[in-house]
Copies of this chain bind each other. A is one copy, B any other.
Amino acid sequence: MGLLVVGSIALDSVATPFGETADAPGGSAVFFSAAGAILHNPVQVVGVVGSDYPWDALRQLEARGVDLTGVERAPGESFRWKARYSYDLASRETLETRLGVFAAFRPRLPERFRSARYVFLGNIDPELQLGVLDQVRDPALVACDTMNYWIHSKKDLLLELLRHIDILMVNDSEARELSGDWNIYRAAQWILSRGPTMTVIKQGEHGALLVEAQSVFKVPAYPLQEVFDPTGAGDAFAGGFMGYLAKTGDRSPANLRRAMVYGAAMGSFAVEKFGIQGFEGVTLADVRARVRGFKELVHFEVEP
* Closest residue on chain B to residue A299 by CB atoms: B257
Contact B295–A300 (Cβ < 8 Å): yes
Q: Does A203 contact B (CB under 8 A)?
A: yes
> Contact at A300–B225, with CB atoms within 8 Å?
no
Q: Are B182 and A87 in contact (CB under 8 A)?
A: yes
Jot down 8 A-B pairs with beta carbons below 8 A, ordered by A: A87-B182, A88-B182, A183-B225, A185-B223, A185-B225, A254-B300, A258-B302, A298-B298
A291 close to chain B: CB less than 8 A: yes
Please give, as numbers and ranges, the residues of chain B lying within 8 Å of A226 by CB-CB distance. 183
Which 7 pairs between the two chains have the least Cβ-Cβ distance?
Answer: A88-B182, A257-B300, A298-B298, A206-B206, A218-B220, A216-B223, A185-B225
A301 on the interface (CB 8 Å rule)?
A: yes
Q: Is A56 an interface residue (CB 8 A)?
A: no
A234 to B7, CA, bound (A): 42
- In the assembled complex, the CB of A272 is this many whole angstroms from the nearest CB of chain B, namely 13
Instruction: Determine whether the beta carbon of A224 is less than 8 Å from that of B185.
Output: yes
Within 8 Å CB of A29, what residues of B?
A: none
A207-B220, A258-B303 known, 9 other contacts, Cβ within 8 Å: A87-B182, A186-B225, A189-B225, A218-B223, A220-B220, A254-B301, A257-B299, A257-B300, A291-B302
A255 to chain B: closest residue by CB? B303
- Contact at B88–A300, with CB atoms within 8 Å? no
- CB proximity of A183 to chain B, nearest CB, Å: 6
Chain B residue with minimal CB distance to A216?
Answer: B223
A186 to B, closest residue via Cβ: B225
Neighbour of A217 across the interface among B185, B216, B297, CB < 8 A: B297
With beta carbons under 8 angstroms apart, the residue of B203, B224, B258 that contacts A301 is B258
